Structure formats: structure tokens, C-alpha cells
Amino acid sequence: FFSLFLDMRATDNNGANLPLSGACNPSPREGILVYFYVVVSTIFMLLLAYVLGAFSNFQATISTYVPWTMGGYSSRLPMARSRTPLIKGMQRHKPYAPSQFPSELRRHMSRIPWDAKGAIPAITSQVNSMLVTEGVAVVMEALQQRFPDLPLEDYFTNAFVASVVDLVQSHGNPLEYYIEKLSEAAEWRQREDVGSILERPFERLPPEAMFWQGIDYQRQQVLYVRPGVVNMADFDETNTYLTVVALIEEGIRSMKETSANQRFSLVIDTSGVGARYFLPGFIRKLIVLATGPYRYRVGTLVIGPTNTVVRSAWKLVAHFIPSEFQENVWLSPEPRQVLEQLMPLDEIPEGIFEAQRS
């Protein structure tokens, strides 16, 4: 309509445009045509914007629930939308095609009910379960290819791997991210020969310094660590480290035989801990152990009662702890009150947070 408006401008004998004021006097019919073109063009642009916006929302929604329909995603599971590796040097697989999924899964996906708007598929728990099962198979196959000589069943049970794969939906990281993290744990187990630690002869800490007792409300077994009862005059860093690993491995083996949660709660009783317990190198070593090889085994971490030494130690190591791990950390001057929120009262050991040095 802008070109039509220019065509209606008056010109002089040489073809030059005259000033707009008083130069053009369109007829009523031409004026109606101008208004018609303006209205029609405006309606068309509004409809085009609406259609493009609706398609964009639909694309984002459908790619969330059925990612392979849009192509280019690196994971077989929902919510794995990141196309760039989270770890430097990680290789991304080629996009998966629907034909690469088990036929049973593809048949079920074709029967997924849609909601009233006809846009968002109502993914059922059965489909989610099938996706997790498929994810477990992918993870185990990757670990077996990378570590053919490592007895994976000692640590990477199907229930544990399924609990890690389930994080794809809750955290949104691609499946390859968790494959890399579990591969790092497997590499550490192979390098440290963890399978033989329980048979190695070494002097363990006294039983009251570290023990398993009770189950919290999340069905997680609870491991108590009480450094305040350890005599620092006879402290042996190597034996203490081996004791920690051995007790964790014993607890994990017992999880294989029960239906309890595959993660455990870790309670660190810091009562009686003073300046001589402040060993930055060893503390960092234990934090690396919890956030590395056992990162997806520690469900909840409770530390207390806090004092100057504990707070200083936490500030020192907090920078090395992943943010998703810190979400499950309770640092409290009244840790017993925290435990009362996490577990039944009869599951809390007597004398906890009342350390007496041996």
C-alpha cells in the first residue's frame, strides 16, 4: 500500500514529484482501497506471527518429551536437550533415529495419548520406566566396553545405575554426562583395586568412630562418622582413608541384598573437633572421595555441630564441591534437630553429637 500511495503523488511536467501538501487528491474509491490494503496487510501479519509463535512453542514442547522427533539430540531419554558436551573433550554421539529404539518402545510411543489441546503428549510412568531401562542398558554397555576386566556388578548394579539415569529428567543433563561420571568412578575403582580393600590387612578405626546404623525417611541407610572420638596422637592417614572406603563398600554390598534406596545418608559428628583435627589435605581428600567416586551414592550429608574449625574447613572445601551436591548438605549448629527431620527418633544412635575422645 506504500507503493500505491507513492503512485498517487502528483508530478510536474518534467516528472518530478510535487510536495505532498495539496499535491494529491485521491478519489473516494482510491481512499477505500488504501484502507482495505492496510487492514488486510495488518491481519495477515498478525496471523503469520501467531502461527510462527505457536509452531515455536510446539517444537520446544514436543522436543522435551519426544526428542528424537526433532533430530540432533545426543541422548535417548527425555529432557536431554543440551547439544554441547558439558565436559571438555567429551565426544557426542550421532543423533539417534527412531529405528534405533527397541521395537517395543517404538510401538508404545505410537500409542501415547495426547492432551485436550492435542499438542503435549501425556507421557505415562510406564513409558518413563521403559526409557530408564533403555538408559541403563546404554550405560552398562558403555562401561563394559571401556572396562572389560572390571567386575561391574560389585558396584554398578541395575538399581544404582537406574537411579543415576533417572537424574536425566530431574537435572536435564544428557545421558553421556552421567556415562562420563560413572566411567570416572569405574576408572578410580580399577586404579585403586577397590575390590580387594575388604581383604587387605590394615588397622581400622575404632567401631565407635565410624559405623552404619538405621534408615532415614527416604529409605537410605545412614553412615555415621565421628572424628572427635579419634586419638589424633595415633592418627594414621592411610589407615583412616582405607577404613572409610572399606566401610562404604560394606554398606554398598548390603544395599545389593535389600530393597532400600541405593544412596546413603552421611552424618559427620564434629563434636569434640578442635584445631588439631584441621588437616586441609586429608579433608579435601575425603571430600573428593564423596563428590567423585561416591558422588551418586551420597544422598544427604549432615555436618555438625558447627564451630570455628568446622566452618573454616567447610569454606576451604566448598569451592571444590559441585553445586548439585551442595543442595543435599546440612551444615548446622544443632545437627540432632536436623536428624529428627530426616529420620524417626528411634533410628538416631544414643550419644551421638556427644563425642568423648579415646
- By CB neighbour count within 10 A (0-12 exposed, 13-18 middle, 19+ buried), where does 314 fall? middle
Q: Which residue has the higher pLDDT, 182 or 51?
A: 182
What pLDDT, on a 0 to 100 scale, did the predictor assign at position 73?
32
**pLDDT band with cut points at 50, 70 and 90 for residue 259:** low
Residue 88 has pLDDT above 50, yes or no: no
Distance CA(173)–CA(169), nearest Å, equals 8
Counts of helices then strands in the chain (DSSP H, E): 12, 5
- pLDDT at position 26: 58
Sign of CA pseudo-dihedral 141, 147, 149, 152:
negative
H or E stretch covering 49 = helix 28-65
How is residue 339 written as a grid cell? Answer: 536428624
Model pTM?
0.63
Q: What is the pLDDT of residues 276-304, one digit of tens each?
A: 887 878 888 888 898 889 999 999 999 99
CA dist., res. 285 & res. 312, Å (int) = 16
Buried b (16+ CB within 10 A) or exposed e, 128-146: eebbbebbbebbbebbeee
How many of the other CB atoms lie within 10 Å of CB of 303?
21
| Higher per-residue confidence, 152 vs 354 | 152
Torsions phi, psi for 302 (to 5 deg): -115, 125
The order of strands in the sheet holding 329-331 is 210-215, 221-225, 264-269, 298-304, 329-331
First-last CA distance in the chain? 93
Phi, psi dihedral angles at 253 (to 5 degrees)? -65, -35
Mean pLDDT of 22-34: 63
Closest CA to 133 of 71, 72, 175: 175
Alpha-carbon distances, residue 130 vs 105, 106, 155, 261, 340 (angstroms)? 7, 11, 23, 20, 36
Q: List the grid coordinates of 99.
A: 529405528
Give the range among 14-23, 106-115, 155-164, 176-185 with minimum mean pLDDT. Answer: 106-115
- The residue-averaged pLDDT of 31-59 equals 72
**Is domain 200-347 annotated with CATH 3.40.525.10?**
yes
Query: Who has greater pLDDT, 54 or 195?
Result: 195
| pLDDT value of position 260 | 64
Cα gap 77→343, rounded to integer Å:
33
Q: Which helix (H) or strand (E) holds 267?
A: strand 264-269
Query: Pick from 276, 55, 80: which is nearest to 178 by CA?
Result: 80
- Residues 6+ positions from 288 with CB-CB distance below 8 Å: 320
Per-residue pLDDT at 128: 67
Residues of the chain with CATH 3.40.525.10: 200-347
Looking at the DSSP assignment, which residues form a beta bridge with residue 354?
none
Q: What percent of the chain has pLDDT over 70?
A: 68
Residue 258 Cα distances to 12, 22, 221, 290, 299, angstroms = 98, 93, 11, 22, 17
pLDDT 10s digits, 127-136 = 567 788 888 9
For residue 309, name the pLDDT band (cuts at 50, 70, 90).
Answer: confident
Average confidence (pLDDT) over 307-315 = 84
Mean pLDDT of the chain: 74
pLDDT > 70? residue 7: no
